Amino acid sequence: MLLSSYRLGNLTLPNRLVMAPMTRSRAVDGKPIAETATYYAQRATAGLIVTEGVQPNAVGQAGPFMPGLHTDEQVEAWRVVTDAVHVNGGRIFAQLMHGGRIGHPDVAGHHPVGPSAISSGTEVFTPTGMAPAPVPRALETAEVAEQVAAFADAARRAVEAGFDGVELHGANGYLIQQFLSSSANQRTDGYGGSTTGRIRFAVEAVEAVADAIGPERVGIRLSPGGQIQGIVEENVPVLYGELLKALPDIAYIHVMVTADDEVLMGLRKAWPTAFILNPGGQIGPDESTREQGERWLANGADLISYGRAYLANPDLVERFRLGLPLAATPGRDTWFQTPNGYIDHPSYQH
């Protein structure tokens, strides 16, 4: 099943493998570099590529050397990437990732913002290394709409840059999940408190993006119950059940295995369009296997996303097709910034 085709929005995917978004931290001045085009083009046999997180505005930059989609120069730089993927027969979505409270003034000269003035209690990347996460400035009610609009503006720029669509990053402790979280969001206005209040920002952001570029070009990534970067969520089945009911019928939801099978199956049954499942769960040392993907397809997922397996296996689809062994995931010291470990992983040598 992994190698069968699938219709996603207006796209026909030649297989059901999705290259999951992975931070690679190699941008310069918020722009992807030439090697970024090579990196994604090498992996264009994936049914769909979802890029690393791309900040929708300057205050949303979570860490150094991360790319953006809020200036004309960034659009031009991304067009080189999307052209390379399309020439190689691929399809590519940009992941729009607003760091929220995950950020630092030394990264982009802006103090992080969040739903409440509550630090994640973790460390964050800065240009000089890891540092304690600062306490964010709580967004005023009127300012929340500005962050919603930033997602929509970045989505328009993504389409201008040649992307086939966008995925909103609602997982892993970034801004959208901060609003969902009872530990990060202690607001008393309409964006906090009740389940309806805590899902409101996510829903408004998705609606704004869908209105801007069309719902068939939009997805959202979720990590229900995931405990990372200080996130705690209460009553996960109800929280995410209500979120899915309130979202418009966009192209897909992209769900990480951060809850038990019963919760995930409930979300699958509740969601009317494509359901992408990432079997890897939270960030860890091991890549997901073909067997895990096939099991989830048999349990109702439509597409399976692979992250770490794609680092050293640009030809992952072909390796699965021919039953070839996978190259081992490279060490973490090559994941970010380094010149090696990016575009130098070869296809399988027969």
User: What is the reported pLDDT for 285?
Assistant: 52
Would residue 339 count as lying in a domain? no
Please tell me the distance from the alpha carbon of residue 112 to that of residue 229, in angstroms, as a whole number. 14
Would residue 10 count as lying in a domain? yes
User: What is the reported pLDDT for 189?
Assistant: 97
Would residue 246 count as lying in a domain? yes
Tokens read off for 52? 């690393």
User: What is the reported pLDDT for 330?
Assistant: 80
User: What is the reported pLDDT for 162?
Assistant: 98
Would residue 346 count as lying in a domain? no
DSSP, residue by residue, 216-265: GGEEEEE-TT---TT---SSHHHHHHHHHHHS---SEEEEES-S-HHHHH
User: What is the reported pLDDT for 329?
Assistant: 83
User: What is the reported pLDDT for 283?
Assistant: 59
Would residue 347 count as lying in a domain? no
User: Strand pairing of 137-138 and 6-8?
Assistant: unpaired
Nearest residue to 239 via CA among 305, 170, 294: 170
Please tell me the distance from the alpha carbon of residue 22 to that of residue 307, in angstroms, as a whole number. 7
Please tell me the distance from the alpha carbon of residue 71 to that of residue 73, in angstroms, as a whole number. 5
Tokens read off for 40? 């994604």
Active-site hit among 40, 174, 252, 306: 174
Sign of CA dihedral 123, 307, 11, 345: positive
Please tell me the distance from the alpha carbon of residue 223 to that of residue 221, in angstroms, as a whole number. 7
Nearest residue to 24 via CA among 349, 343, 346: 343
Domain extent for 54: 6-334
Would residue 185 count as lying in a domain? yes
Q: Which pLDDT tens digit goes with each residue over 114-168? A: 999 999 999 999 999 899 999 999 999 999 999 999 999 999 999 999 999 999 9
Would residue 348 count as lying in a domain? no
Q: Is 174 a catalytic residue?
A: yes
Q: What is the pTM of this model?
A: 0.96
Tokens read off for 178? 């901060």
If one counts the domains in the chain, the total is 1
Q: Which pLDDT tens digit goes with each residue over 47-80? A: 999 999 999 999 999 999 999 999 999 999 999 9
First to last CA, the chain: 25
Find the CATH number of the domain harbouring 182. 3.20.20.70
Would residue 151 count as lying in a domain? yes
| Sites in the chain below the pLDDT cut of 50 | none
